[in-house]
Structure 1
């Protein structure tokens, strides 16, 4: 295939209007495995293709980008850095965004390569242009630029180049373009910071992290909301959480939650504050976080009880995440009647709310009620059983009724609740005591579509995961469940038809 591609390249080179020749070349290149293009890359003059990007013809640019995107995969990053620096720099300044994206992705390959990165580190102008690409309006360009700079920062030499040279001033200059561009730079800083404590040190010394933290208390509530999201991302790493704690940010965000009660615009940023502490509780300790910042759980409960559709979803998700762990369940249980009231409210919304809210309620309940066999103790089994039974007087019927509605997402969310209690003896007994429930579980005609069948199969698997199932369901039902599991989620009973010649 190398010879035909070489020949097609020559045809492109010899044509004044090469669009048809380029299309032929594209077809040949896309039909050739990347391994088969290595010979072509080493022998062909790629400058031909790079040069053809210098046109106002959108179609020609599009075809050239597709060809180069394929062909350059066969080129080693170090070769790209050594022989095509000028083409890369030209691509970064090209007026067409698709060329910028192509170029930045290739630079990302280079800086992610041990030898290639050193070559780029010596090309300050290229790096300045990469930073400038963060301010390009099209987000796809900015994302590639951020990804390339993040890869560059994986090495000490890269960190030194980006944060201990004039490039830091270039970053700060780009930040002044607009609020949205400033937050793109923050996105880069947070991504670099979470990589390691050393990386965080560089970013902290640059003053850009402290600048981000100051945005938490800014006058613009939309900017504040974005800052909270960035700080939450920074808290994903242990060293990031330690840094935020040292800076007093946890206490600051707790105070922001308290102050939000009197702020008419708090709906815009309060969900972000709750997500921050929810994330913190899961990564560290639900008990420690809830005890140290009691306002967090109080606000979550209030948000569930509130009828504001902008606040309830976040609160439901947070309760689900908290209640997924044993420690989180115990924290919620300690609140007593407060949490019982929340469960009753969840039951009401699950029965009467919009479909989106109903799904969020059911998913939260499924996480709250989940208790794997290895974590089951008598106390915890009593706890999950009491939560389920306090929903209403007939929780099994309520969940089953929801599962029978003609909405796939509701059907599957309801099945997840049954799956959550299916490996708990009290849940199995409730199922057995509910008329027709066992037959409903094994009825393959209930629920259509792949997700519904998968959810039903998971329910059967959960039932069979415990030693109590045979005793509670009985031998015959136990064997039927085992057959269901063996047949798989998509089994269809074969129906044979016998036709008798001459029959009416």
Structure 2
């Protein structure tokens, strides 16, 4: 096989129209398993393919890219660095997007390998070209460049090269091209900062982080909204949160929420500020965040009652996120009537809102009602039961009605609420006391999509795994549920197959 590839490569030299030969080479390469391909291509040179990339014929270039993708992935990163460094560097400035992405992908492989990384670190021009790719018009090229540089920064020599040489000046030059490209550099800096306290230190010392934080209070509302997203990502790591706290960013964002009440354009950035604190609450402590920044919780409740769908959606997601924790549930419960009003609103949205808001309401409600078995204290069980009964005078009927509607996402959302209460004794008692409910659970003809079958199977599994289900539901129902679980989510009985064939 190696000899046939060699002869196909030889046949490409000096041809004016190599499309047919390239197609034959591509077919031959695709026929070789990856392991065997490594042996077939080792020791051979593929410069002729790189040369054929220099063409205005799009089909020819795309064939060359397909071929090189197969070949180069079969080579080790060290082999790439030693034999194709110059060719890949040329690919970074090629006019075709696919060639740039090919080169960046392979450079990304090299910087993950200790020995190959040294070759790249010693080649200033390659790294400068990769940074300049962040300024390319095509987002896919920029994303690949960001990914490769992010990998490079996982080592101290990589950090030193990016931040302690004139490559930092190159980054700042690229940033100056436009607002969009500036945020791509911020994206890279935030990714690097998230790796470790040391990498955050490099980024902070470069002044790029402080520049990003300064954008939070800029005059351009859209830029401000984008900056909030970046800062939220930075807060995902503990060292990132500590840094933001030291810089007073939590207080600044809290004040921004407070000041937004007099800003007619606040709807463009308020959702981002709320998401920031929602993520902070989950990663640190819902109680601490809500008590330290009460404006956050008040704003979430206010947004849930707002007529603006964009505000409602973010509020629902945040309520579900924070309320998925025991501490979050307890914080909400302490607000008394305020939260009851919000829960009533969520119920109304789940029953009769726009489809997207109905789905988000159902998901938030299921998160609020979920308790793991080890969390099921008497107080918490009483809390979730009282919340369920606040949804409607007949909450089981309400959720059941939603589950029978011909929208898979609503059907699944309703089933997730039933799964949330299925592990709790009060939920099981409601199920067994609701006429025809157990028949509904065991009926495989309802919900024919894969998602619906999976959601029903999860509900059945939750009931079977509960230590109280056998006693509360009765042995007959429990045995049927265990049979359903054993048969799997997609089981079709022989009787239903025969009746379906007869109908045809």
Unaligned runs of 5+ in 2: 500-504
Q: 1:379 maps to what in 2? A: 379
Contact 1:6 1:40 (C-alpha < 8 Å) held by counterparts: no
> What is the Cα deviation at residue 22 of structure 1?
0.1
**Contact 2:404-2:411 at 8 Å conserved across structures:** yes
- Distance in 2 between the 1:48 and 1:36 partners? 22
| Residues 311-332 of structure 1: CA deviation (Å, up to 9, x unaligned) | 1111100000111111111011
Separation in 2, partners of 1:33, 1:270: 53
Q: Unaligned stretches of 5+ in structure 1? A: 499-504
- Name the SS for the 2:314 alignment partner: helix
Q: 1:13 to 1:44 in 2, by over 3 A?
A: farther
Q: Does 1:166 align with 2:154?
A: no
- After superposition, the C-alpha distances for 1:80-117 in whole angstroms (9 at most, x for unaligned) are 11222221111111111110000000111111110011
Partner of 1:224: 224
Contact 1:34–1:71 under 8 Å retained in 2: no
Q: Deviations over 1:209-243 (max 9, x none)?
A: 00000000011110000000000000010000000
- The 1:376–1:273 alpha-carbon spacing in structure 2 relative to 1, beyond 3 Å, is same
Structure 2 length as normaliser, TM-score? 0.97
1:464 is displaced (CA, Å) by 1.4
2:306 matched residue in structure 1: 306
Cα distance in 2 for partners of 1:232, 1:253 equals: 11
What are the Cα deviations for residues 286-317 of structure 1, in whole angstroms up to 9, with x where unaligned?
A: 01000000000100000000110111111100
In the other structure, the counterpart of 2:43 is: 43
Shift of residue 497 of structure 1?
Answer: 6.1
Secondary structure of 2:477 counterpart: helix
> In the alignment, what sits opposite 1:243?
243
Residue of structure 1 equivalent to 2:268:
268
Task: Give how far 1:79 is off.
Answer: 1.6
Is the CA contact 1:134–1:143 (under 8 Å) kept in the aligned structure 2?
yes
Alpha-carbon distance between aligned partners in 2 of 1:421 and 1:13, rounded to the nearest angstrom: 70
TM-score by length of 1: 0.97
Contact 1:402/1:410 (<8 A) preserved = yes
1:321 is paired with a residue of what secondary structure? helix
Deviation at 1:14, TM superposition (A): 4.4
The reply to whether residue 202 of structure 1 matches residue 202 of structure 2 is: yes
Once the two structures are superposed, what CA deviation does each residue of 1:320-375 show, in whole Å capped at 9, x if it has no partner?
Answer: 01111111110111111100000000011111101100000000000000011111
1:325 matched to which residue of 2? Answer: 325
* Larger displacement relative to structure 2 (477-486 or 392-401): 477-486
Find the aligned partners of 2:488 and 2:83 in 1 and give their Cα distance. 55
Range that drifts further, 238-247 or 6-15: 6-15
CA spacing shift, 1:69–1:386, aligned 2, 3 Å: same
Q: 1:175 matched to which residue of 2?
A: 175
With 326-335 and 481-490 compared, the bigger mean Cα shift is at: 481-490
Cα RMSD (Å) of the superposition? 1.1
Aligned length: 498
Asked if the contact 1:107–1:148 (Cα under 8 Å) also holds between the matched residues in 2, the reply is: yes
